[in-house]
């Protein structure tokens, strides 16, 4: 190999001490220069799936990462074991597909709202996907998802089993890099398999008793789509903490609450106990939905 200077590639998988970088259509096993471990001390790992990097070759199919380009977007949360560190789930992703299921596991609005906030905070567009529509009555969900449609979010109803809604989901993902995020067992890996036949990602069993999926997706990985673009499969999450979202800015992530917040008496109103709070008035009159307000209050309580 001649010395042609560093090559560029995209990180498609991250392991403890190395990662896989796609360069053209070749996968290169890479290590990182030691300097990265010091420089990004506030992160659980110096590198994330989706990062664009420069690398030098060290051998056949092997290399070392020399530099990491600044990220255009990122989906982050606090580390699971190290809560004071940022865990970047994926970098340079355009769209977060927030996946929930009709049943098994049950819809958790708080979790959905947190992932939506993290997506907006990281600069991603978002789409809500309600999966397992073959397994229950989707019309019971219409009211619930209206709250999201009202704030401008697209909602897709899918079934990875029957294939309904998969074309719409695929259209939304075409030509972009998407990340599927949501509880374990909602069908993220199954949806990716349906959107892109041939990938054959491992799919978990849902425990009959718990309704919870097993964590069969252990690593985040970036996968190419025939329709153009890439998709990131992630292991399921039970909790989704918020990284670097301040109490005072939380209302800004609820567009319908933010709209009324300007009319509150106090500019720093938290919309919980203050007098002359326009948000609480809007909740009482029904122009802000109670589920969304409750979700706001619950998340506010968890922010320092």
Ligand X SMILES: Nc1nc2c(ncn2[C@@H]2O[C@H](COP(=O)(O)OP(=O)(O)O)[C@@H](O)[C@H]2O)c(=O)[nH]1
User: Interface residues with ligand X (CB under 6 A)?
Assistant: 131-132, 134-135, 159-161, 184-190, 203-206, 213, 216-217, 236
Name the residue with the smallest CB distance to ligand X: 187
Q: Whose Cβ is closer to ligand X: residue 43's or residue 160's?
A: 160
Q: In angstroms, rounded to a whole number, what is the distance separating the alpha carbons of residues 64 and 67?
A: 9
Q: Whose Cβ is closer to Mg ion: residue 77's or residue 188's?
A: 188
Q: In angstroms, rounded to a whole number, what is the distance separating the alpha carbons of residues 211 and 104?
A: 5
Q: Whose Cβ is closer to ligand X: residue 211's or residue 252's?
A: 211
Helix, strand, coil percentages (3-state) for the chain, rounded to 5, are 25, 30, 45
Burial grade of 73 (CB within 10 A; 0-12, 13-18, 19 or more): buried
> What string marks each residue from 239 to 278 as x (binds Zn ion by CB under 5 A) or -?
-------------------------x----x-x-----x-
Q: In angstroms, rounded to a whole number, what is the distance separating the alpha carbons of residues 285 and 295?
A: 18
Q: What angle do CA 223, 229, 185 make, to 5 degrees?
A: 45
> What string marks each residue from 277 to 296 as x (binds Zn ion by CB under 5 A) or -?
x-x-----------------
CB of 186 to ligand X, least distance (A): 5
> What string marks each residue from 209 to 228 as x (binds Mg ion by CB under 5 A) or -?
--------x-----------
Whether omega before 181 lies within 30 degrees of 0, making that bond cis, reads no
Which residues, 165 to 194, sit near Mg ion by CB under 5 A? Answer: 188-189
Summarize as ranges the residues that interact with Mg ion (CB under 5 A). 188-189, 217
């Amino acid at each position: 190999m001649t010395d042609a200077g560093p090559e560029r590639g995209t990180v498609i998988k991250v392991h403890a001490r190395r990662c896989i970088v796609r360069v053209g259509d070749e996968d290169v096993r890479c290590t990182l220069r030691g300097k990265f471990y010091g420089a990004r001390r506030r992160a659980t790992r110096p590198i994330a799936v989706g990062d664009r990097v420069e690398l030098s070759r060290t051998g056949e199919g092997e290399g070392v990462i020399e530099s990491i380009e600044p990220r255009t977007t990122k989906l982050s949360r606090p580390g699971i074991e190290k809560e004071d560190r940022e865990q970047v789930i994926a970098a340079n992703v355009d769209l977060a597909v927030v996946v929930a299921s009709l049943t098994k596991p049950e819809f958790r609005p708080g979790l959905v709202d947190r992932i939506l906030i993290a997506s907006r905070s990281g600069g991603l567009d978002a789409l809500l996907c309600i999966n397992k529509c073959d397994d229950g009555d989707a019309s019971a969900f219409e009211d619930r998802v209206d709250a999201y449609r009202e704030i401008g979010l697209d909602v897709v109803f899918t079934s990875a089993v029957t294939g309904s809604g998969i074309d719409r989901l695929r259209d939304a993902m075409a030509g972009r890099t998407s990340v599927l995020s949501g509880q374990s067992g909602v069908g993220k890996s199954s949806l990716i398999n349906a959107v892109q036949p041939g990938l054959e990602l491992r799919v978990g069993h849902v425990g009959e008793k718990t309704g919870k999926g097993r964590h069969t997706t252990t690593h985040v990985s970036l996968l190419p789509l025939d329709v153009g673009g890439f998709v990131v499969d992630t292991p399921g999450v039970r909790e989704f903490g918020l990284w670097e979202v301040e109490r005072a800015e939380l209302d800004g992530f609820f567009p319908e609450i933010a709209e009324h917040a300007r009319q509150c008496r106090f500019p720093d109103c938290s919309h919980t106990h203050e007098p002359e709070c326009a948000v609480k008035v809007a909740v009482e009159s029904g122009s802000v939905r109670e589920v969304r307000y409750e979700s706001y209050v619950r998340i506010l309580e968890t922010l320092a």
